[in-house]
């Protein structure tokens, strides 16, 4: 009898369990599944092969590379220098020592080791052209490397590929911070063409993502690499780049409204203020903004410096500033600027210096039209060069919208005439950032340009005492503005918007969309 009752109870429990399972399953089916694939509005640069750490000129190039490659060290979201591919980095006397993470592998299981890091340094020296750092004056002195097999004195791989050491004459205070730039991304050496050193494999990468599917039109699909130290099941598992051309009939924000894209990043065609205002009006997205490190300014090219005297440059710069600020009056995030670095940042000018400069600018500018015929290249999409007031102020000038960087254009090779003026934007930093300083030294930016800029940067990097370096930077800053190589216009934050419920854990200190820092609940 007991056995029969037990059997009946077991049958009833089994039926109840089955019913409960069906109910739970039906409830799960009714609940929308949070997708792990995100579509990113992105400039249409072409296939993955158009990207290389050795030729970064524009922000979106940096962002793409920073998501598929990792450097030896990096900055955390809160601005600390932390481990990346090197789980430990340290100075041992005059020797920089990197211990590479164990079990770091590409998607196909290829281990990343110290030989790959060594190849990265040699590739930088052989190819040159990187814009966010200067290794040539620091590594392999007296050597001219031709291949990755060529020896570099002082650079050694030890402990069966686990450790890379580099010997210097003395500790270099900027060496580790400089390596955070994605110019110094570690690329698996067998992903390189052995002769040209061009990247031939974008699948086996060192970063949180790899190229799953390439496209000559820029519709590139990236997938997460579970072998990476930044991997999390909460990060986007797939990223689809959705190309948005400059002349697109629909903006990235329109595509966001339609549900076509899920992320409108810092880079791209939409002005920062448009994204900030969009987020305020759309509760279905989350807004991330950096500190006000997006700098807008007028830069005079070498041609413009020769053609125009000091008073002309000030008048032109102040006229453009007035027009820009009028067009952007009341727009979200903007604040007028009187210097290049944020006022509370390292390298910022003293109050008396700013007062002297602003008085000089006010005294020299006048309100008359600029009759001098000028070629002005504008890379700020939100500035309307066709505004009647712009034509009234510059009746004989040609203003065109173009995505070029001052000092990084080969005018002869591209068949272009050098302009007189750039109306440009770039990122700045509250902190001393050697990568950005190196980038500016490659641009026509500071008052020292070309070889003089490179020599200044080398001297600057030789000074170990920060309290002595910062006055050097401040002096260069002041001279640049006093001689009107640059006229500051404004600062704003960079902005990224993400469709909810995804949440950003991006940096407020640095520009750059590190998309693995997006997280789902």
What CATH number does the domain containing 180 carry? 3.90.76.10
Tens digits of residue pLDDT in 232-255: 999 999 999 999 987 777 899 999
Residue with structure tokens 């006022």?
343
Q: Indicate if the pLDDT at residue 309 is higher than 70.
A: yes
Per the CB < 8 A criterion, the answer to whether 126 and 54 are in contact is no
Residue 232 included in any domain: yes
Do 283 and 387 sit in the same domain of this protein? no
259 and 131 in a common domain = no
Same domain, 278 and 342: no
Q: What is the number of residues in the chain?
A: 521
Q: Which helix (H) or strand (E) holds 223?
A: strand 221-224
Q: Which tokens is 286 given? A: 């989350």
Q: Which of 163, 191, 219 is at the close of a domain?
A: 191
Residue 175 — left, alpha, or beta (φ > 0 → left; ψ -120 to 50 → alpha)?
alpha
Handedness of CA 317, 320, 326, 327 (dihedral sign): negative
35 pLDDT tier (thresholds 50, 70, 90): low
Q: Is 358 helix (H, G, I), strand (E, B) or coil?
A: helix
Structure tokens at 316: 């032109």
Within this chain, do residues 223 and 316 fall inside the same structural domain, yes or no? no
For residue 472, the domain's CATH number is 3.10.105.10
Q: Which helix H or strand E contains 440, and what residues bound it?
A: helix 434-442
Q: Is 336 helix (H, G, I), strand (E, B) or coil?
A: strand
Task: Check whether residue 235 and residue 170 sit in a common domain.
Answer: no
Residue 412 within a domain? yes
Which residue is it, tokens 């960079």? 494
In a domain, 444, yes or no: yes
231 alpha-carbon distance from chain centroid? 21
Residues 300 and 272 in one domain: no
**CA 468, CA 89: separation in Å to the nearest integer?**
25
Does residue 380 share a domain with residue 304? Answer: yes
Distance CA 439, CA 418 (A): 20
Residues 236 and 38: beta-carbon distance below 8 Å: yes
Q: How confident is the model at residue 368 (pLDDT cuts 50, 70, 90)?
A: low
| C-alpha to C-alpha distance for 98 and 76, rounded to whole angstroms | 18
Alpha-carbon distance of 157 to 154, in angstroms, equals 10
With beta carbons less than 8 A apart as the criterion, state whether 399 and 388 touch: no
Q: Are residues 471 and 409 in the same domain?
A: yes
Residue 49 lies inside a defined structural domain of this protein = no
* Strand pairing class (375-378; 398-401): parallel
**Same domain (yes/no): 153, 100:** yes
Residues 436 and 423 in one domain: yes
Determine the average pLDDT of the residues in 300-314.
Answer: 94
In a domain, 15, yes or no: no
Banded pLDDT at 385 (limits 50, 70, 90): very high
More confident residue, 21 or 432: 432
pLDDT at 255 (0 to 100): 96
* CA–CA gap between residue 83 and residue 517 (Å, rounded): 16
Residue 30 has pLDDT above 50, yes or no: no
Secondary structure class of 314 (helix, strand, coil): helix
Cα 265 to Cα 472: distance, rounded to the nearest angstrom: 35
Q: Which residue range is the domain that position 123 belongs to? A: 70-191
Instruction: Tally the domains of the chain.
Output: 3
Q: pLDDT tens digit string along 137-183?
A: 678 777 788 999 999 888 999 999 999 999 998 888 888 998 999 99
256 pLDDT above the threshold of 50 = yes
* Interval 415-449: pLDDT, tens: 999 999 999 998 888 778 887 888 888 788 889 88
457-461 mean pLDDT: 86
Measured CA to CA, the distance from residue 328 to residue 272 in angstroms comes to 12
Highest mean pLDDT: which range of 134-138, 256-260, 460-464 = 256-260
Domain C-terminal end among 130, 163, 191: 191
| 449 assigned to some structural domain | yes
Q: What is the phi-psi region of residue 109: left when phi exceeds 0, alpha when psi lies from -120 to 50, beta otherwise?
A: left
Residue written as tokens 């814009």?
131
Residue 384: which residues within 8 A CB-CB, separation 6 or more? 327, 390
Check: CB of residue 285 under 8 Å from CB of residue 262. Answer: no
Quick one: 183 and 267 in the same domain?
no
Do both 100 and 243 map to the same domain? no
- Confidence label for 25 from pLDDT (cuts 50, 70 and 90): very low
Burial tier of 327 (Cβ tally within 10 Å: 0-12, 13-18, 19+): middle
Tell me, yes or no, whether 40 lies in a domain: no
Q: What token pair was written down for 417?
A: 């005439």
Residue ending a domain, among 130, 162, 191, is 191
Examine residue 46 and state whether it is found in any structural domain, yes or no: no
Share of the chain above pLDDT 70, in %: 91
**DSSP E strands: which ranges in 248-346?**
263-264, 285-289, 294-300, 335-336
Choose among 456, 476, 510, 460: nearest CA to 173: 460
Question: Which of 95, 74, 92 minimizes the C-alpha distance to 83?
Answer: 74
Task: Report helix, strand or coil for 419.
Answer: coil
């Amino acid at each position: 009898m007991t056995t029969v009752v037990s059997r009946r109870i077991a049958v009833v429990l089994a039926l109840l369990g089955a019913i409960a399972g069906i109910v739970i399953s039906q409830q799960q089916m009714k609940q929308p599944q949070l997708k792990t694939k995100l579509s990113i509005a992105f400039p249409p640069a072409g296939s993955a092969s158009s990207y290389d750490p050795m030729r970064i000129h524009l922000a979106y190039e940096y962002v793409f590379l920073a998501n598929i490659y990792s450097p030896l060290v990096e900055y955390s979201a809160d601005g600390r220098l932390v481990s990346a591919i090197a789980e430990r980095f340290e100075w041992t006397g005059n020797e920089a020592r990197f211990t590479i993470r164990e079990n770091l592998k590409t998607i196909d299981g290829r281990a990343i080791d110290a030989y790959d890091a060594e190849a990265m340094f040699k590739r930088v020296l052989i190819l040159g052209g990187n814009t966010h750092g200067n290794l040539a004056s620091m590594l392999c002195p007296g050597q001219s490397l031709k291949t990755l097999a060529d020896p570099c004195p002082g650079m050694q791989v030890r402990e069966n590929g686990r450790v890379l050491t580099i010997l210097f004459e003395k500790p270099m205070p900027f060496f580790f911070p400089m390596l955070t730039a994605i110019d110094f991304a570690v690329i698996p050496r067998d992903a390189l063409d052995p002769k040209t050193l061009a990247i031939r494999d974008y699948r086996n990468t060192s970063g949180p993502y790899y190229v799953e599917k390439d496209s000559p039109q820029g519709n590139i699909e990236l997938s997460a690499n579970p072998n990476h130290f930044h991997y999390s099941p909460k990060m986007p598992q797939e990223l689809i780049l959705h190309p948005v051309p400059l002349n697109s009939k629909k903006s990235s924000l329109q595509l966001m409204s339609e549900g076509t894209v899920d992320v409108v990043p810092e880079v791209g065609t939409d002005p920062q203020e448009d994204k900030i205002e969009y987020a305020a009006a759309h509760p279905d997205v989350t807004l991330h903004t950096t500190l006000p490190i997006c700098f807008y300014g007028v830069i005079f090219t070498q041609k413009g410096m020769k053609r125009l005297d000091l008073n002309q440059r000030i008048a032109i710069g102040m006229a453009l500033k007035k027009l820009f600020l009028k067009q952007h009056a009341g727009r979200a995030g903007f604040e007028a600027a009187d210097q290049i670095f944020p006022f509370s940042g390292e390298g910022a000018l003293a109050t008396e210096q700013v007062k002297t400069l602003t008085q000089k600018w006010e005294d020299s500018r006048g309100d008359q039209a600029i009759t001098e015929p000028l070629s002005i290249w504008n890379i700020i999409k939100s500035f309307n060069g066709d505004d009647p007031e712009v034509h009234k102020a510059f009746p004989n000038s040609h203003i065109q919208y173009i995505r070029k960087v001052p000092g990084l254009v080969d005018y002869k090779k591209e068949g272009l005439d050098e302009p007189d003026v750039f109306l440009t934007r770039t990122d700045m930093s509250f902190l001393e950032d050697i990568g950005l300083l190196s980038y500016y030294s490659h641009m026509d930016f500071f008052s020292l340009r070309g070889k003089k800029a490179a020599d200044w940067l080398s001297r600057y990097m030789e000074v170990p005492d920060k309290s002595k370096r910062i006055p050097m930077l401040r002096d260069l800053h002041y001279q640049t503005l006093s001689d009107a190589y640059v006229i500051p216009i404004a600062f704003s934050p960079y902005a990224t918007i993400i469709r909810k419920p995804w949440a950003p854990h991006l940096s407020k200190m640095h520009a750059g969309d590190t998309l693995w820092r997006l997280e789902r609940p």
